Amino acid sequence: MNLADRLKSFSTPLTLATGVLLVAVLTELLGISLLVRIVTVMFVSMILVLGLQLFMGNSGILSFAHIGFMGIGAYTSVLFSMTPTAKELSNANLYPFLIPIHLPFLPSVLMGALLATFVAAVISYPLMRLSDAAAVITTFALLVIIHVVLVHWDRVTNGPRTLFGVDYYTTLWTSVVFCVITIFAVYLFKESRVGLRLRATRDDAYAAASIGINMVMMRWIAFIASAFIAGVGGALWAHFITSFSPYSFYLTETFVVLAMLVIGGPYSVSGAVVGALIVTAAREILRAIENYVNILQVFPQGFFGFTEVILAIVLILILVFRPSGILGSREISWPRFVRKQKATGDLDQPSAGVQGGSHV
Amino acid sequence: MINLEFIINTLSLGSLYAMLALGLVIVYGILRLVNFAYGELIMIGGYTLYLLTGFTPLPWLFVAFLAVIVSMLTSLATELVAFRPVREKSLTAMLITSFAVSTLLQNAALLIISPRARAVTLPQIFQKSVLIAGTDVPWRNILTILTSIFMLALLTLLLKRTVLGIALRAAADNFRMTRMLGVPANTVISSAFAISGIMAGIVSIFWIGRSASVTPTLGAPPLLVAFVATVIGGMRSLTGAVVGGFVYAIIISLLGIFLPPDLLEFREAFMFVFVIIILLFRPEGLIRSKTSVERVG
């Protein structure tokens, strides 16, 4: 394979990474601090959406648990990165043995991601047999369990109270670098042997089983990998926001990440990237309107929830009129949109036969 | 510890949870949809109570009736606007839709009313209690039990004796076959959503009867209870839903007595671990339905 061909097969992640870098450079050049904050959060969300895409897009199974793994990543990384004094100030109940631990930023992120991965690996294997409603309820149950533990285990998480005193490490460029790495990782996973086999089980579980694909194992690998990414995302988010509580990792955040993925297109890596971009932009505009109306005091009881109402309506409209998202199963690639094999996964009309075997 | 008071409290909790679970299962049985927006129907019932008791002179019983009607209409509206268009697409699309509807209704309440809790005026009888065999039993608990007995009888009658009920049961067994025999799908599904809304409305009265206030996030705890109860009882069977509701109430009450206080906070986590174990080892729940769900793996 010569260089041109090699580049061609990486066309999609290269294009997406270029887009991400362009947005970052533009933000840096404009230098507005609010915009820098928004874009940094967007890249962190993008990492989370990409992590969810890795599992949901390839396996066709809806997962609610990922924000839980984000929470595990956030709390674990923070316990490693905070200085002993900050820990004592922030959480008086902390287990004494946790206080002296102090690591630099990157190893802390890694520890957060590894614990999320470990938890996912240990508990999820038997769950990977389940499909449809049973799968959804179990991942939802996982989210509830992780949430209850985060809220009540105050010797580690400071309970329902806000944990503060986290050092600020996640700059715009930190989030960009992690985001670009994630784009490549998720794309490579999709095109890897495991990714291909997993997509085969998504399109037809019986046919895939008949050619010897171990569906449970493939799903498990994807679930673990996506928990790792969610853990990284959580760790980055924690070191950006610097004070947070367990309520940041529950249904509201789940809804936003899910909306990003579904609106962008759950079956492609590009869909995850585009979804995060569009939904962030839309949310910030709506949030600005919401704040403006609140400042004007048009409504005596305040004007809250407007952003979420509009976002929910858009999500429903997308599901009704374009159930496979803006991009469907296409990947963006230079110089043009290349139509990939049509995904016959869950969100789309399940189609019977195999359409278009070409793999451009 | 396990005295008459405990038994009546548990029975009352169980009958509340049974109605709660029934409302979720009646839709699940036909559409295979786990309706995340079900909790919000209860929230809307609660807000109807708040608005009508606070701002109109209507008698309480009539207000309660209207709350049930509003819950039912909301349920029908969500079916018509959101679920019907995605019904044919896929289960995942429907699940995400229900999650979106839930967020929509919750934030609409936030937007229209207020993020703060609102106090609901309750009738006198909800605060009174009666002396039975030496124990004070709140009327509220007796009313919950009586209402649930009445609703269960009514629902049984509907399902066994009317054409609509037979169509509903047939659709839960085999929806495609039922449609081929000329039963209109939309009617069956709308009826299921209507019943689900009525159940949510009735539950809202007694749920609010316990807390006397309503918030936009009121729907989450009953939804979680309904999830656990239906999984315990069996997602496919209405009897299972009732059994699941009572079993949930018994387990949660016993945990309340026997679990040490340190672990009591994690009660909900234990319930959901239980849910996962049931789904793995006995996915049909305690009450097995005649037809079983097709599963791969």
Contact A312 B104 (CB under 8 A): yes
| Preceding omega of B85 cis (within 30 degrees of 0) | no
CA distance B24 to B199: 9
User: Taking 70 as the threshold, does the pLDDT of residue A360 lie above it?
Assistant: no
Contact A152 B265 (CB under 8 A): yes
Strand partners, B118: B214
User: Taking 90 as the threshold, does the pLDDT of residue A198 lie above it?
Assistant: yes
Region B217-229: what's the mean pLDDT?
90
* pLDDT (tens digit per residue) in A149-191: 999 888 889 888 999 889 999 999 999 999 999 999 999 999 9
* Strand pairing category for B135-138 and B118-119: unpaired
Query: Which of the four pLDDT bands, split at 50, 70 and 90, describes residue A295?
Result: confident
B100 and A CB contact within 8 Å: yes
User: Taking 50 as the threshold, does the pLDDT of residue B296 lie above it?
Assistant: no
Residue B265 burial by CB count (10 A; 0-12/13-18/19+): exposed, middle or buried? middle
Contact A255 B108 (CB under 8 A): no
B84 → chain A, closest CA residue? A320
- Facing B86 at nearest CB: one of A141, A206, A323: A323
Query: What pLDDT does residue A273 have?
Result: 95
b/e per residue, B117-136, with b = 16+ CB within 10 A?
Answer: ebebebeeebeeeeeeeeee
- The percent of residues in chain A predicted with pLDDT above 90, rounded, is 63
Cβ pair A265, A330 in contact under 8 A: yes
Query: What pLDDT does residue B130 have?
Result: 78
CA distance B64 to A28: 58
- Facing B104 at nearest CB: one of A136, A141, A309: A309
User: Taking 50 as the threshold, does the pLDDT of residue A357 lie above it?
Assistant: no
Q: List the end-to-end C-alpha distance of chain A, in Å, as a whole number.
A: 15
CA distance A302 to A14: 45
Region A279-287: what's the mean pLDDT?
93
Query: What pLDDT does residue B2 have?
Result: 67
Residue keyed to tokens 């997962």: A63
Within-domain flag for A216: yes
Nearest to A171 by CA among A1, A28, A16: A28
Query: What pLDDT does residue B292 have?
Result: 47
Nearest to A128 by CA among A258, A226, A249: A226
Query: Which of the four pLDDT bands, split at 50, 70 and 90, describes residue B87?
Result: confident
CA distance A67 to A73: 10
- Facing A346 at nearest CB: one of B92, B113, B268: B92
Query: Which of the four pLDDT bands, split at 50, 70 and 90, describes residue B73?
Result: very high
Contact B103 A206 (CB under 8 A): no
Contact A308 B103 (CB under 8 A): yes
Within-domain flag for A346: no
Within-domain flag for A298: yes
Query: What pLDDT does residue B147 have?
Result: 94
Residues from chain B that touch A160, judged by Cβ atoms under 8 A, are: none
Within-domain flag for A350: no
* pLDDT (tens digit per residue) in B155-204: 999 998 999 999 998 888 888 888 888 888 889 999 999 999 999 999 99
- Facing B280 at nearest CB: one of A61, A126, A251: A126
Q: Which of B88, B267, B276, B292 is most worth mutating to test chain A (most A CB atoms within 10 A of its CB)?
A: B276
Query: Which of the four pLDDT bands, split at 50, 70 and 90, describes residue B239?
Result: confident
Contact B91 A137 (CB under 8 A): no
**A299 vs A60: which has the higher pLDDT:** A60
b/e per residue, A242-275, with b = 16+ CB within 10 A?
Answer: eebbbebbbbbbbbbbbbbbbbbbbbbbbbbbbb
* Element (DSSP H or E) covering residue B69: helix B60-78
The Cα-based distances of A42 to A39, A147, A279, A280, B148 in angstroms read 5, 23, 9, 6, 49
- Facing A137 at nearest CB: one of B111, B279, B293: B279
CA distance A104 to A82: 9
> What does the DSSP 8-state code read for residue A298?
-
B6 and A CB contact within 8 Å: no
Total domain count for chain A?
1
Cβ pair A261, A49 in contact under 8 A: yes
Residues 66-85 of B with CB under 8 A from A: 81-82, 85
Query: What pLDDT does residue A341 have?
Result: 47
User: Taking 90 as the threshold, does the pLDDT of residue B205 lie above it?
Assistant: yes
Average pLDDT, chain B: 87
Contact A304 B110 (CB under 8 A): yes
The pair of structure tokens assigned to B1 is 């510890």
| Phi and psi torsions of B137, nearest 5° | -115, 120
Residues from chain A that touch B296, judged by Cβ atoms under 8 A, are: 131, 205-206, 209, 215
CB atoms within 10 A of CB B17: 29
Residues whose CB is less than 8 angstroms from the CB of residue A31 and which lie 6 or more positions away in sequence, other chains included: none
- Facing A133 at nearest CB: one of B34, B89, B104: B34
Query: Which of the four pLDDT bands, split at 50, 70 and 90, describes residue B294?
Result: very low
Residues 268-287 of B with CB under 8 A from A: 268-269, 272-273, 275-276, 279-280, 283
The alpha carbon of residue A224 is apart from the nearest alpha carbon of chain B, in Å, by: 18
Within-domain flag for A354: no
* pLDDT (tens digit per residue) in A300-315: 777 888 899 999 999 9
B165 and A CB contact within 8 Å: no
B295 and A CB contact within 8 Å: yes
ipTM of this complex prediction, to 2 decimal places: 0.88
Q: List the end-to-end C-alpha distance of chain B, in Å, as a whole number.
A: 45
CA distance A290 to A286: 6
Query: What pLDDT does residue A350 have?
Result: 38
Reduced to 3 states, what is the DSSP secondary structure of residue A301? coil
- The percent of residues in chain A predicted with pLDDT above 70, rounded, is 92
The alpha carbon of residue A327 is apart from the nearest alpha carbon of chain B, in Å, by: 16
**B269 vs B16: which has the higher pLDDT:** B16
Residues 16-45 of B with CB under 8 A from A: 28, 32-34
* pLDDT (tens digit per residue) in B103-149: 999 999 998 888 888 888 888 777 788 777 777 788 888 899 999 99
* Element (DSSP H or E) covering residue A278: helix A269-296
Average pLDDT, chain A: 87
Cβ pair A167, A242 in contact under 8 A: yes
Residues whose CB is less than 8 angstroms from the CB of residue A153 and which lie 6 or more positions away in sequence, other chains included: A159
Reduced to 3 states, what is the DSSP secondary structure of residue A318? helix
Which domain, by its residues, includes A317? Answer: 12-321
CA distance B260 to B251: 15
Of the spans A1-5, A73-77, A132-136, B127-131, which averages the highest pLDDT?
Answer: A73-77
The alpha carbon of residue B241 is apart from the nearest alpha carbon of chain A, in Å, by: 16
Query: What pLDDT does residue B23 have?
Result: 94
Cβ pair A228, A52 in contact under 8 A: no
Contact A311 B216 (CB under 8 A): no
- Facing B96 at nearest CB: one of A60, A62, A145: A62
Query: What pLDDT does residue A359 have?
Result: 32
Nearest to B250 by CA among B261, B238, B258, B262: B258
- Facing A319 at nearest CB: one of B28, B93, B273: B93
Residues from chain B that touch A140, judged by Cβ atoms under 8 A, are: 227
Query: What pLDDT does residue A348 have?
Result: 44
| Phi and psi torsions of B115, nearest 5° | -70, -20
* pLDDT (tens digit per residue) in A208-226: 999 999 999 999 999 999 9
* Strand pairing category for B118-119 and B213-214: antiparallel
* pLDDT (tens digit per residue) in A268-277: 999 999 999 9
